[in-house]
A and B are shown apart, each in its own frame.
Chain A
């Protein structure tokens, strides 16, 4: 597995963590940090597409 594939796994888990943190923040009553978590999650998704486009010629192996 290349760094590209590992980075994709990393980005996926980071997205899950961002949305998970947002849910945690909403549950504890922190609206600001909840919104920040959602924005971070969306940002990471956009970054994921950006890096896949940048490394489209690099193998997953």
Chain B
């Protein structure tokens, strides 16, 4: 049995079926990310004045990731354009670039997550707070038993409010140093993971979901670049349509990042 309207447009919709399908899917995706963006806005607007973090994320890293994704959108379009003019070699080249750029994005994001997860806020028994990246932990370190020590690269503050706005002049002028803290002096500690505060929770939720979309898109493009490209020999028109559909999904993922970057990194 032949699947209808994989190449020619359906008379009632004016487009081929796969394109209609991907747009219906993207409509549901808009609702998914729209809900999360709304949650972000409401959480931020509802936060107590002076409690919403600023400058916690690396703007340069975010900008590089934006550049990488923008470039991948261009290579996706060029791959589709190459299919349109029947240049299979060029298609292979541009889609290989897209895959590499997708993997680069995921690696950079993984590095950023690692940076957040090794960043600790350590509350001391004297009321002070040591905040910074974990450099070393003694072998006998055990917070429950109060044995050993840990070393952070960061700064010591009197109040947790000093850690909220890292773009404030006082925070920028703060001296970064190595701080060794004995476990016996720690009252509580935690990393900048999703459970740290509302900001990190929504940050990990939205960027994690977006990262899964990038991973899914990269795998899909990898399939079309590899085993899926055999269709080129039997049905190039249909294969070109598949590339267009995958490109639409990839562009949506890129578009979400274009909104995410200023919202999370610049505000």
Contact = CB atoms under 8 A, between A and B. Distances in A.
B254 interface: yes
A2 B22 CA distance: 11
A20 B248 CA distance: 25
A47 B81 CA distance: 15
Given A51-B77, A58-B84, A3 B262 contact: no
A10 B248 contact: no
B217 interface: no
Interface residues of B, number: 26
A44 B167 CA distance: 29
23 contacts: A1-B23, A2-B19, A2-B244, A3-B76, A3-B77, A3-B80, A3-B244, A3-B247, A6-B247, A6-B248, A6-B251, A7-B73, A7-B251, A10-B73, A13-B255, A13-B258, A17-B258, A17-B262, A21-B266, A47-B74, A55-B81, A58-B84, A61-B15
A2 B14 CA distance: 12
B66 interface: yes
Contacts of A6: 247-248, 251-252
Interface in A1-24: 1-4, 6-7, 9-10, 13-14, 17, 20-21, 24
| List of 5 A-B pairs having minimum Cβ-Cβ separation, nearest first | A3-B247, A3-B244, A7-B77, A6-B251, A24-B266
A29 to B, nearest CB: 11
Contacts, number: 49
Given A7-B77, A13-B258, A58-B81, 5 more contacts: A3-B248, A10-B254, A10-B255, A13-B255, A17-B261
Interface of A: 1-4, 6-7, 9-10, 13-14, 17, 20-21, 24, 28, 44, 47, 51, 54-55, 58, 61
A28 B73 contact: no
A14 B23 CA distance: 21
